[in-house]
Structure 1
Amino acid sequence: MADYLLFATERYGLPILQPLADALHARGHGVHALLAAGASGLRLPGPVRAVGVREAVRLRPRAVFSASNEVPTFVSGAKVQLFHGFNVEKRADGRGHFRVRGLFDLYCTQGPATTAPFQALAREQGHFAVTETGWPKLDPLFRDDGGAAAALRAPAAGRPVVMFASTFTERLSAAPHLFDAIAAQVAEGSRYWLLTLHPKCPPELFERYRSLAGANAAFVEPEQLVTAQRAADVLLADTTSVVSEFVVQHKPVVTFRNRAPKPHMIDFDDPAALPAMLARAFAPEPALREAIASYADAIHPYRDGRSSERVIEATEALLQAGLHTLARKPLAARWRALQIRRELGYWGF
């Protein structure tokens, strides 16, 4: 059996890596994690062993799986991009989801909407491969979770459940604008609320939303995000990639001032309209249901909970073919690789 390294630079990378860690462990492999920057000091539970940067180098892993935009290129093994979210069009393609930095050997894409653009880039540039696998983070959405979602939903006592999630990007975040409207809905009590924020949101926003927890609401930590999505009936959000994660379940989403609203969203721009938007989401018309299903199939058609296994198989197929089959990485990637060395404090060669 082989050793593999997991890499993340933010707390939200941990739920992406955990299902893959479990799948690697189930196959008898050694699973290790290098968590840096915003993920430093955190741990992945279970079979994962935390390592520092020098130990990661000595480990000589067969592959490095990254839930970040970057990866330590000085560690051996295939460098595999898992993505830290869906393409929600926060930025233009050249700066956003489809930006190629020259660091990765394999992109494991989430569905047809992501696969086709990356395949086009791979044909053009030649220094990476692309395989559509689905996203490891969503495996728990479609597997038995041991009753975790039911437990999170239990305090609703039969009431409908709304989940609220918000991006940290200030110009796109709904959290500052919708607090009063959400607080009024929580106080009214006809629905139960699961509240969460992106880990990078300001501390004062966390304090405000945590204060709503009680008989009609609970605050959910980032590690419980997928469980909360299973538990909720409807999502209220903005331009966060949680919108796409939630829609994959064929459930309705209400979005506040989404940067690129689509037919599968119920988008609105006036906080006073929140009650009406939620009422529509809980009684979706046939056209909305069709739009939700169509979008879900385009971004993530896999509902078997086995995306992690497909990632492992795609990585092994590339390694069997040989990394030498890929073109040389672009010169610009060398500068970024040096920056990553500096950030991680490693200068061994």
Structure 2
Amino acid sequence: MADYLLFATERYALPILQPLADALQAAGHGVHAWLVGNAAGSRLPAPVRMISDAQQAVALRPRAVFSAANWVPTFVSGAKVQLFHGFNVEKRDAARGHFRVRGLFDLYCTQGPATTTPFQAMAADMGHFKVVETGWPKLDPLFGTEDPLVARLREQADGRPIVMFASTFTERLSAAPHLYEAIAAQIATGERYWLLTLHPKCAPELFQRYRALAGTNAVFLETEDLISAERAADVLVADTTSVVSEFVVQRKPVVTFRNRAPKPHMLDFAEPSALPTMLEHAFAPSAALQSELAAYADAIHPYRDGRSSGRVIDATERLLTGELGPLRSKPIGAWLRALQIRRDLRYWGRSSAPPGSPA
């Protein structure tokens, strides 16, 4: 069996990589993880083996490198596979956003038709990468076997409806500073049980304020527990975070605060005082809203079998065996970016990547 490398630069990538690690291990492969940047110091549990530097990554000579970041260490051997770090929630313009291709990856494993269609068009034009729609590994646990944390959260709710709150770190889009008082008031009533989360990059003072709301009627959860929270909750309150799309895949209602690009499946509002009314609508969704939720879920992630990680592995093997066809040479810009990656990772040694790679 082969060795594979998982690569991440942020803590929020760990729930994306863990289901893939589980699937690789179940198939008998060796799984290694290299976490850098804001993910440095984090770990994936054994039997995943942690790599601490570029020298170890090069020496491993993995069959493939799976990245949940916008980039990948090109000087390491193996197919470079993009898993995506979130759904496209239109936080920024298209030129800088979800569909930017830098020439670093050989394979894009897309989440659903909404992502697959534009990437296939670019692949046909550029020719230096392939696209296979697999679904997103992060969401495998959303439809997997029973989760002990989900059971515990529901037990803590004691029969009450469960609301989850999540917020992006992008200051101009974040609901966290604006909704704190409204959420605190809702928690104080005890009518519903609240699951509170914040993006790891949110300001420390926001973490302090929201952690202080934990008690009989609320609990604060870390980013590693995000999927369990999504699974346990009945309704989500959020903003322009990609958690909105993750939650909608379950066909559950979402209440969004000043979403940058509100859609028909969202219950969007602009004033914090409207939160109680929006929650009432969410807990009694109309037939029209339920239809919009289902349509959007099918567009972004139609897979509800919990097997996306397996499809990623299969797609990677098809790439490596040539079943997906040949790749053109990487663009000149990829070679320049590869030099920047070496600088960022402080590695100027020999490459284990195959000839022709931007290593």
Structure-1 residue corresponding to 2:277? 276
Q: Out of 305-314 and 42-51, give the one that drifted further.
A: 42-51
2:235 matched to which residue of 1? 234
Q: 1:116-157: CA deviations, max 9, x gaps?
A: 000000001000000000000000000013432111221110
Shift of 1:92: 1.5
Aligned to 2:146: 145
Instruction: Note the C-alpha offset of 1:55.
Output: 0.6
Distance 1:113 1:81 in 2: 16
| CA RMSD across the alignment | 1.0
AA of the residue aligned to 2:118: P
Structure 2 counterpart of 1:212? 213
Name whichever of 117-126 and 146-155 sits farther off.
146-155
Counterpart-to-counterpart distance in 2, 1:323 and 1:136: 21
Instruction: Name 1:67's counterpart in structure 2.
Output: 68
- Is 1:332 the counterpart of 2:333? The answer is yes
Q: Distance in 2 between matches of 1:318 and 1:341?
A: 25
Q: Is the 8 A contact 2:106 2:128 kept in 1?
A: yes
Residue in 2 aligned with 1:18?
18
Paired AA for residue 239 in structure 2: D
Provide the rounded CA distance (Å) in 1 between the counterparts of 2:218 and 2:289: 27
Quick one: distance in 2 between partners of 1:112 and 1:157? 39
2:102 aligns with 101
The answer for unaligned runs of 5 or more in structure 1 is none
The match for 1:341 is 342
Deviation at 1:333, TM superposition (A): 1.1
Deviation at 1:46, TM superposition (A): 2.9
| Matched position secondary structure for 2:321 | helix
Distance (whole Å) between structure 2 residues aligned to residue 152 and residue 200 of structure 1: 25
2: CA distance, partners of 1:131 / 1:323: 9
Within a 5 Å distance, the mapping from 1:60-209 to structure 2 comes to: 60-209=61-210
Give the C-alpha shift of residue 325 in structure 1.
Answer: 1.1
Higher mean C-alpha deviation, range 194-203 or range 336-345: 336-345
Deviation for aligned residue 1:12: 0.2
Residue 43 of structure 2 is aligned to residue 50 of structure 1: no
Q: Map 1:236-275 onto structure 2 (within 5 A).
A: 236-275=237-276
Bigger drift between 317-326 and 249-258 goes to: 317-326
- Alignment of 1:307 with 2:297, yes or no, is no
Aligned to 1:296: 297
- Residue-by-residue CA offset, 1:6-26 (whole Å, 9 max, x unaligned): 000000000000000000000
- d(CA) in 2 for partners of 1:213 and 1:172? 24
Distance (whole Å) between structure 2 residues aligned to residue 122 and residue 141 of structure 1: 30
Given that 1:21 and 1:47 are in contact with CA atoms closer than 8 Å, whether structure 2 keeps it comes out as: no
Separation in 1 of the partners of 2:154 and 2:49? 32
1:31 matched residue in structure 2: 31
TM-score (norm 2): 0.96
Q: How many residues align?
A: 349
Distance 1:60 1:324 in 2: 23
Secondary structure at 1:321 match in 2: coil
The 2-side partners of 1:197 and 1:146 are apart by: 21
The Cα of 1:323 is off from its aligned counterpart by 8.9
Q: Distance in 1 between matches of 2:324 and 2:105?
A: 11
Q: Distance in 1 between matches of 2:129 and 2:117?
A: 14
Decide whether the 8 Å contact of 2:319 with 2:325 is kept in 1. no
* Structure 2 CA distance for aligned equivalents of residues 313 and 4 of structure 1: 13
CA distance in 1 between partners of 2:214 and 2:134 (Å): 37
| Percentage of pairs with the same residue | 74
Gaps of 5+ in 2: 351-359
Per the alignment, in what secondary structure is the counterpart of residue 179 of structure 1? helix
CA contact (8 A) 2:130 2:324 kept: no
State the AA in 2 paired with 1:214: G
- Contact map agreement 1:22 1:47 (CA 8 A) in 2: no
Q: Deviations over 1:142-183 (max 9, x none)?
A: 001343211122111000000000000000000000000000
Deviation of residue 324 (structure 1)?
8.2
Whether contact under 8 Å (1:6, 1:65) holds in the other structure is: yes
Counterpart Cα distance in 1 of 2:38 and 2:193:
31
